[in-house]
A and B are shown apart, each in its own frame.
Chain A
Amino acid sequence: MPSRALTGRCAALLAFAGVLCFAASVRASELFVSNEVDDTVTVLDGDSYKVIATIPTDQRPRGIIETPDHKAVLVCDGDSSNIDVIDTRTLKVVRRIDTGPDPETLATSLSGDQLYVSNENNALVTIINYATGKWITQVPVGIEPEGLAVSRDGRTVVVVSEETSMAHFIDTRTWQVVANVLVDNRPRVAVYTPDQRYLWVSSEVGGTVSVIDPRSHQIVHVINFQIPGVDKQYIGPLGIQFTADGRTAFVALGRANRVAVVDPRSYEVEKYILVGQRPWQLTFSPDRSKLYVANGLTNDVTIIDVSSEKAVKSVPVGRLPWGIAVVP
């Protein structure tokens, strides 16, 4: 697929200045969207948002991330108990890594040498050597482990367990759980603030975001959301993303069909951006000028312009889009 590597403008010039253009060709970023029901990953061009490829995966693809070197996108196939490794150059599944039962989400170590996988059905986090695919260890945590966060010093992996409603802090040197913080019902996602001072945990059924001090393991604040005209029980916080400067946070609100814009200093909600139905996970474009929202029920991705905080476009993907990885 050589044309994939060229921007549209460059392709038009190709007939006149092929060599020059080839030399100057800039490969646009790409979005990889896991479609839980279709057993596919949709690849979108980061400029045109046109579908470049639809990659067949194993069964029930959900958690999806890019490796730190951007050479691969990794997707958890919950019903096949493995990770599909997608080569970001060929856009093909080139390898499968055994994870144990029902992997839901994953994260990598800072260097990318280790994978951390939450096994939803059996209350474990599996630690895997990425190069060999061998399991390093398994860490027992609460029931239905889901979202994972890795501290910037690489010393802590946090996993939230939906049924147990806790954030578990795992020491990566000993693989021991060193702290458990009870949060509101059914936590889904954990994200460190860019300055690493806080960990935000979204609780889908509780309807809140807990702000945890990762040193004291205390909850220092609980963020609530109130939307005029929307029943409280429909507000289900899920994906969380911070701008690089840490001054703005975006929180997907599930069945409230909105993304909240939150000031992390005051914890005030500044705005609610209407997106598709049941927004789940959020991901930034490489330059963080766009925020991508996977809308589970409307089978599309909403693109939010970060500076104006407006939804500018929605593009169709596969059925039940779960998460998005972005490769520059």
Chain B
Amino acid sequence: MLALAGVSNASMPSAAAGAVAARAFPIVYLREAYPGPGIMPSLLETQPDDLGLAGAEDGTAEINTTGKFLGWHFKLYVVTLPAGADVAAQVRRVFAPGPAVIVADLRAGDLLQLADAPAAKNALILDIRTTDDSLRQQDCRANVFHILPSQAMRADALAQFLVEKRWSRWFLLQGPTPADAVYAADVRRSAARYGARVVAARSYDYNPGSRRSDTGYQQIQTQMPLATQVGTDYDVLFVADETDLFGDYLPYNTFDARPVVGTQGLVATAWTPAFQSYSALQMQNRFQLFAHREMTERDYGGWLAVNVVGDAVMRGRQTSPAGIRAYLRSDGFLVAGFKGEGLTFRTWDQQLRQPVLIAQPLMVVSMSPQAGFLHPDNTTDTLGFDQPETQCRLGH
């Protein structure tokens, strides 16, 4: 029943016609000045300084277009903590004016420090950066909502696609980090869920060194076949390399002629600059105009988080973090994110329920869940930790 009728006025610029006096709504964008990821394997991979933030800024401009008609003005306050900051201590000033709505561009450890800070007890935190399963499972928090798909959702999204293709014998190549171990466990879980098999598995502790040399590819061309010679027939190589140490070297360098999927090669992601379905093309155009670069997954996270807030305030008519939280968990909430269906939060772990793109570097190949993977309530809940499996206890 929301409607606002402004009176047309010849002296008013037409863009403002129908506009009403605006109430301000603050959103805090909280990030830390982490040291850069270092040199990426490919020269084509760039690391813009405003990754995530540009999406949130663009999203703020867009919800303000709606706000202009409904009497709301959203303002994004960007807080950048110094690298290695004591998050719990630093955020006290963020919460000084009272409970806040925070878009968190923080790594897992810092996110937990933020969520557990006494001052944040009544805050609403929208996590746009992490994919860690642990934050959706044993380390879930009642004041945190996760925008991007978890590692388990990504493994399931790829697994469904591979099973649909009948490429069900996997060679799992696992990197050295703890995150790689989590993702590798997710791959095994997906195989068990969907009737695929891990027929070979290997750990690979690759040291990327300086990454740049005039003879770089020559050594790679001998190292990668050695790393992938397993003597077992398989359909696809499933790589678990969450920190981009070597995964991008694998396509066309495997010992056997097999596709590479997982954290590199064919990946599962919430967004890629190549995605154009379901009006995503218009979003890509708008973002390019706004930020003068391509829209990344974290930018999409920032854009979506701000739109979640806009929806809760303007459609849900909630203005307190507690009210917004209740609304996001209710049947009334739904946000549009260019996936052809409304996106909602799973109440058991506050993970955004969403279809996941299956993409190679230049093209979107598919979107999971795949047809034929069924669920009693919501097909999209075939991706990731479903309610019966959750280890999250929100205790609200």
> Which residues does A use to contact B, with CB under 8 Å?
102, 120-121, 123, 139-140, 142-144, 162-166, 168, 171, 174-182, 184-186, 205-207, 212, 216-219, 231-234, 236, 254-255
Contacts and interface: CB of A to CB of B under 8 A. Distances in A.
Interface string B304-319: 0000000100110000
B18 A178 contact: yes
B336 interface: yes
Nearest to A234: B341
A217 B69 CA distance: 13
Interface stretch (B1-9, B89-97, B129-137): B1-9
Interface string B119-135: 00000000000000000
B342 A185 contact: yes
A138 B68 CA distance: 19
Nearest to A173: B8
A182 B6 CA distance: 14
A164 B66 contact: yes
21 contacts: A142-B69, A143-B65, A163-B336, A165-B66, A165-B315, A166-B69, A177-B14, A177-B18, A178-B6, A180-B69, A181-B3, A182-B2, A205-B341, A205-B342, A206-B342, A207-B342, A219-B1, A219-B3, A231-B379, A233-B380, A234-B341
Interface string B328-339: 000000111000
Given A182-B3, A255-B340, A174 B8 contact: yes
B340 to A, nearest CB: 6
B17 interface: yes
Given A142-B65, A205-B342, A219 B15 contact: no
B17 A176 contact: yes
Given A142-B69, A176-B14, A205-B342, A219 B335 contact: no
B70 interface: yes
B6 A185 contact: no
B282 interface: yes
B334 A205 contact: yes
Task: Pick the 3 closest A-B CB pairs, nearest first.
Answer: A233-B341, A176-B8, A180-B69
B279 interface: yes
Nearest to A78: B281
B62 interface: yes
Contacts of B5: 178-179, 217
Contact of A142 (B14, B66, B285): B66
B62 A179 contact: no
Given A121-B286, A164-B69, 10 more contacts: A171-B8, A175-B14, A176-B17, A179-B5, A180-B4, A180-B70, A184-B334, A205-B342, A219-B3, A231-B379
Nearest to A138: B14
B193 to A, nearest CB: 19
Given A177-B14, A205-B334, A217-B3, A182 B279 contact: no
Given A142-B66, A177-B17, A219 B2 contact: yes
B42 interface: no
B336 A144 contact: no
B3, B15, B66 pick with most chain A CB within 10 angstroms:
B3
B213 interface: no
B218 interface: no
Contacts of A140: 14-15
A178 B2 contact: no
A185 B18 contact: no
Contacts of A163: 62, 65, 279, 282, 336
Interface residues of B, number: 36
B66 A179 contact: no
Nearest to B7: A178
Contacts of A164: 62, 65-66, 69
B66 A218 contact: no
Contacts of B342: 185, 205-207, 233
Contacts of A217: 3-5
A231 B3 CA distance: 30
B64 to A, nearest CB: 10
Contacts of A139: 14
A205 B336 contact: yes
Most buried by B among A121, A182, A216, A233: A233
Interface in B1-32: 1-10, 12, 14-15, 17-18
Contact of B6 (A175, A179, A206, A212): A179
Contacts of A166: 66, 69
B338 to A, nearest CB: 9
Nearest to B9: A176
B69 A185 contact: no
B378 interface: yes
A143 B14 contact: no
A108 B62 CA distance: 29
Interface in B139-159: none
A102 B289 CA distance: 14
A183 to B, nearest CB: 9
A166 B181 CA distance: 46
B3 A178 contact: no
Contacts of A232: 378
Contacts of B7: 178
A164 B311 CA distance: 10
Interface in B237-253: none
Contacts of B18: 168, 176-180
B39 to A, nearest CB: 36
Nearest to B353: A233
Contacts of A168: 18
Nearest to A79: B281
A236 B340 contact: yes
Interface in B265-314: 279, 282, 285-286, 311, 314
